[in-house]
Amino acid sequence: MATSFTVPGHAAAVPLEIAETGAARRRGLLGRTGIDGALLLTRTRSVHTLGMRFTIDVAHLDGDLRVLAVRTMRPGRIGLPRLRARYMLEAEAGAMRAWGVTPGTRLKMAEN
């Protein structure tokens, strides 16, 4: 199972948690005050920030882990689904820009 990901052109690996079960996807980042790295939600096309304690960046990914769109969502919002999305990547606001995650970027998973 992947425990980090890299972005082409950026040397540092980003710590990654993976939410594969329905319960883990529903819980997401709820109840947390932050995250070190990112959370990958499998088999989903949208997310919400209802009950969240902090603003997050969200990347919609297709089945090849290519970024379709990146959005910043404040707490209390409901995101629109992307029909081609298969995964959602969540991180603290500003992280996606710092990592170079932009539309068209393909993420590479790494085993630690």
CB-facing half-sphere around the CA of 42: CA atoms within 13 A? 11
| Over residues 104-110, mean pLDDT | 92
Confidence check: pLDDT of 2 > 90? no
**Domains of the chain from N-terminus onward:** 4-110 (2.60.120.1140)
Q: What is the pTM of this model?
A: 0.92
pLDDT, tens digit, for every residue of 45-64? 999 999 999 999 999 999 99
* Token pair recorded at residue 32: 């947390």
- Quick one: which H or E segment has residue 98? helix 95-99
Confidence check: pLDDT of 10 > 80? yes
